[in-house]
Amino acid sequence: MSVLVVVLALLVMVLSVYKSFVEQPVAPSVSIVVPSNSPETQETAPRAEQSTPSLASLINMPDQRDSSESGGESSLSSIDYVDRQVDQLSAEQQAALLSQAKNQSEAAEQLSQARVEQLESVLLPVGDELESLVKVEVGYIVERWREAWATGDVEDYLTSYGANFVPANDLSIEDWRRQRRSRVSPQKQIELGLSGFDISMSDDLNQGTVYFNQRYRSGSYVENSRKRLILEKEDGTWKIVSELELKE
């Protein structure tokens, strides 16, 4: 088996992968005349002049069967089929077919690269869209935290904080929890409003920093402050790991 046959067979298999991307030229069908085994036919029937077949005819080859050698049907592999086809071509036709294979292989590679660049241009905004979705998720967690505080649901409120939460003012986590349980209660009629949100995300989108204005009212007492919450993913759920009241 010649090197050309192996190269062409491999190129045919490679090009079949890119078949969906490459527009194959419509080539006239080519009939390769195989002389009959009859001696009279071999002497009297001249071999039809052939044109170089296109690679499309090789890629879209039908199932080939050969029953002349064994008396039964035996399938031909892709390489066997290409081998037989190439053997019937002249040296000039073989060279033209090899050139055609190389050109289409290069075209398929260029088209594949163009498709990759096209997909990259389409997917480029996805990163920004994903960050926007994560910001919405973080904002929702902050709103749940606010609602739990405003309604006095202390258990839901404390659940908003993660295992890595560090209280401000050098309080231990135990002291901080006791303090919050005494202040977050359904009996305390409060109003709590948040506004002026500014949310930023880390590059890996696993940490969110939220700045906002907080308006707290309990009876005649009113307090306006600027706060910062830092949230991180903990077992797939956003949790508050830092809470700081910013000084004006």
pLDDT number for residue 74: 47
pLDDT number for residue 146: 97
Stretch 79-104: mean pLDDT: 73
Distance of CA 142 to the CA centre of its chain: 31
Question: Bigger pLDDT: 89 or 232?
Answer: 232
Stretch 102-111: mean pLDDT: 76
What is each CA distance from 189 to 8, 224, 242, in whole angstroms? 83, 17, 26
Query: Does the pLDDT of residue 189 top 80, yes or no?
Result: yes
- What average pLDDT is seen over the chain? 76
pLDDT number for residue 230: 98
pLDDT number for residue 142: 97
pLDDT bracket for residue 112 (50, 70, 90): confident
**Domains in the chain with CATH codes:** 3-123 (no CATH), 127-246 (3.10.450.50)
Cβ pair 33, 47 in contact under 8 A:
yes
pLDDT number for residue 193: 97
pLDDT number for residue 94: 74
pLDDT number for residue 73: 47
Stretch 167-188: mean pLDDT: 93
Question: Bigger pLDDT: 126 or 35?
Answer: 126
Greatest mean pLDDT range, 31-35, 56-60, 132-136: 132-136
Q: What is the pTM of this model?
A: 0.51
Stretch 139-153: mean pLDDT: 97
Cβ neighbour number for residue 145 with a 10 Å cutoff: 23
pLDDT number for residue 91: 78
Stretch 237-244: mean pLDDT: 97
pLDDT bracket for residue 41 (50, 70, 90): very low
Query: Does the pLDDT of residue 149 top 50, yes or no?
Result: yes
Question: Bigger pLDDT: 73 or 121?
Answer: 121
